[in-house]
Amino acid sequence: MKIALAQINYFIGNFESNVSKIKNAIKKAKQQKADLIIFAELAVSGYPPRDFLEFDDFINKCKMAIESIAKECTDIAAIIGSPVFNPEYQGKDLYNSAIFISDGKVKSSHHKSLLPNYDIFDEYRYFEPNREFNVINYKGYKIALTICEDLWNIGNDPMYTINPMDELYKQNPDFIVNIAASPFNYNQAEIRKSIFTQNVIKYKLPLFYVNHVGAQTELLFDGGSLVINKSGEVVDEMKYFKEDFKIYDLKSINEIQPKITKSKKAEKIALIHDALVMGVKNYFEKLGFKKAILGLSGGIDSAVTLAIAAKALGNKNVYPVLLPSEFSSSHSIDDALQLAENIGCPYDIINIEEICRSFNNSLNSFFKELPFDLTEENIQARTRGVILMALSNKFGYILLNTSNKSEAAVGYGTLYGDMNGGLSVLGDVYKTEVFQLANHINKFKEIIPVNTIEKPPSAELRPNQKVSDSLPDYEILDKILYQYIELRKGPKELINQGFDEEIVKKTLKLVNTNEYKRYQAPPILRVSPKAFGIGRRMPIVAKYLS
């Protein structure tokens, strides 16, 4: 049996585009004499459709799409993900299903059993879990069809009380198919391989895995679809961050031991870079925008954001604006100008000194002669925000936010100022990782000026200001934040690890008391196992560690 895997960048709710891509893949598979083509989880609707699933019209459009696709499936079978109505009165109204199509008709629907309800997932909000298990009989083979999480309940600490593959295995299948929507983080590809290899070794069956690729707002899907033989060896790995299409022969996968060297594990920073580039590119394409604007300060965050945006959109489609104040250093302006020249993008300089002075003069009598403090610093940041949003409105650009995860975590940013934006590029990248990204971008030639990388970070909102005046050293801060945010370690555990007690308490208090700022932040491209946004839900009004 020849099996085609179609790794596609779907567009949530864009049925015309999704169906067109699916049909084109079916035609290609038929031309190459494939017997079966496999698409990803919820391919028809795109993933995650979220509350679109609450509209009958949306589900009916999915049904019509499946009916249209089925007409193409003559002389070939297809497995494709779609939501379907639950005909039973009891339970949720929908199933997350894998549709098996053959001879131009829907032959059967196989529903997802294990519905993740953690981190970015909330599938139990919409779907009823499957409780019936049946293999697919096709051309003399039995197919164990599973959907994403259905293969993840394996190992020493199972999350669910059932294992779908245990039930399907009783029916003597010949191979496993897993269709998925598995979002990217920099660890996920290796974790997936480990999980699937454990399944293959346990059941001694080859596995065909098809994942989504592309960005859906903040969620990034890296592709990396897999074929694993019954010995637990990865036979092939499809492209990462790109659409792909391949055909495999089941017999050769089963019988021939592949002579394939183990693929080199990609570097974390290279993965993050490529994921962010894809995230920016898809965000603009799917919204129908072409050009981005951002504030360019001469600091490393805006420099890395500009470099990533230029890679994603093209250098002429990114418009950095320098907004110096009376506190901006000449070397910061020089660094920003050098970066814009290196990238070859159009730029402008708008001095904000007079605008800020006008604000301060207008407010001076109301400030009751109180001394210069954070208020005047924030007026500078908000002046920049107003100018950037004005240019964004006037010319139809999307403003890119340049805040990093470290500073977003502790509230080192100004609401309605430097926290403005339609998309946060670096909001899930710690400051120490931003420096690593800069060095990665400069791997073959100097794009980001070395001085930008080497100089001490500063907001330049008051004379001789340094970030170290307000925050611990980033090497220490980022380690504490990682342990608290990603690994959920409490203050006692952190202190026992050797971190200074005063720094730990101050840092955790800053994280928790600044939740209100992050609540108002733009969507953040997710590259870590625990990002701010939909995957981390914290109350604003709370007393814990605050």
Residue with tokens 């070939």: 76
Closest CA to 21 of 30, 13, 11: 11
So what's the pLDDT on residue 462? 64
Q: Specify whether the backbone of 93 is left (phi greater than 0), alpha (psi in -120 to 50) or beta.
A: alpha
Q: Which amino acid, 407?
A: E
Per-residue pLDDT of 490-540, as tens digits, reads: 999 999 999 999 999 999 999 999 999 999 999 999 999 999 999 999 999
Q: Which residue out of 62, 73, 148, 345 is catalytically annotated?
A: 148
Say if residue 181's pLDDT is above 50.
yes
Per-residue pLDDT of 348-389, as tens digits, reads: 999 999 999 999 999 999 998 899 988 999 999 999 999 999
Q: What is the DSSP string of 57-85?
A: HHHHHHHHHHHHHHTT-SSSEEEEEEEEE
Mean residue pLDDT across the chain: 94
Per-residue pLDDT of 330-353, as tens digits, reads: 788 999 999 999 999 999 999 999
| 3-class state of residue 424 by DSSP | strand
Residue with tokens 């995957």: 535
Beta strands 292-295 and 398-401, pairing class: parallel
- Helix (H), strand (E) at residue 38: strand 36-38
Q: Where are the domains of the chain?
A: 2-266, 270-470
- Place 457 in a pLDDT band, splitting at 50, 70 and 90: confident
| 3-class state of residue 493 by DSSP | helix
> With contact defined as beta carbons under 8 Å apart, do 319 and 310 qualify?
no
- Place 44 in a pLDDT band, splitting at 50, 70 and 90: very high
Say if residue 261's pLDDT is above 50.
no
So what's the pLDDT on residue 263? 54
So what's the pLDDT on residue 155? 84
Question: What is the rounded average pLDDT of the residues 306-324?
Answer: 98
Q: What gap in Å lies between CA 270 and CA 437, rounded to an integer?
A: 8
- Place 266 in a pLDDT band, splitting at 50, 70 and 90: confident
Say if residue 405's pLDDT is above 70.
yes
Per-residue pLDDT of 114-125, as tens digits, reads: 999 999 999 999
Active site residue 202: no
User: Six-digit token pair at 30?
Assistant: 């038929």
- How open is the CA angle 301-216-489, to the nearest 5 degrees? 60
Residue with tokens 């997710």: 526
Per-residue pLDDT of 21-37, as tens digits, reads: 999 999 999 999 999 99
Q: What gap in Å lies between CA 61 and CA 84, rounded to an integer?
A: 11
Active site residue 112: yes
- Place 329 in a pLDDT band, splitting at 50, 70 and 90: confident
> With contact defined as beta carbons under 8 Å apart, do 421 and 295 qualify?
no
Q: Which residue out of 41, 123, 237, 460 is catalytically annotated?
A: 41
Q: Which residue out of 21, 112, 286, 489 is catalytically annotated?
A: 112
Q: What gap in Å lies between CA 23 and CA 364, rounded to an integer?
A: 66
Active site residue 148: yes
| Sequence-distant (≥ 6) Cβ neighbours of residue 165 within 8 angstroms | 144, 146, 150, 151, 176, 199, 202, 203
Q: What gap in Å lies between CA 228 and CA 176, rounded to an integer?
A: 10
Q: Which amino acid, 129?
A: P
| 3-class state of residue 221 by DSSP | strand
Q: What gap in Å lies between CA 248 and CA 79, rounded to an integer?
A: 15
- Place 467 in a pLDDT band, splitting at 50, 70 and 90: low
- Place 448 in a pLDDT band, splitting at 50, 70 and 90: very high
Phi, psi of 39 (to 5 degrees): -115, 175
Fold (CATH) for 270-470 = Rossmann fold (3.40.50)
Say if residue 96's pLDDT is above 80.
yes
Instruction: Give the rounded percent of residues in the chain with a pLDDT score beyond 70.
Output: 96
Q: How far is CA 282 from the centre of its chain?
A: 11
End-to-end Cα spacing for the chain: 61
- Place 406 in a pLDDT band, splitting at 50, 70 and 90: very high
Q: 2-266 maps to which CATH number?
A: 3.60.110.10
The whole-model pTM stands at: 0.95
> With contact defined as beta carbons under 8 Å apart, do 83 and 62 qualify?
yes
> With contact defined as beta carbons under 8 Å apart, do 324 and 333 qualify?
yes
So what's the pLDDT on residue 149? 98
> With contact defined as beta carbons under 8 Å apart, do 530 and 185 qualify?
no
Instruction: State which of 233-237, 248-252, 308-312, 470-474 shows the largest mean pLDDT.
Output: 308-312
Q: Which amino acid, 381?
A: A
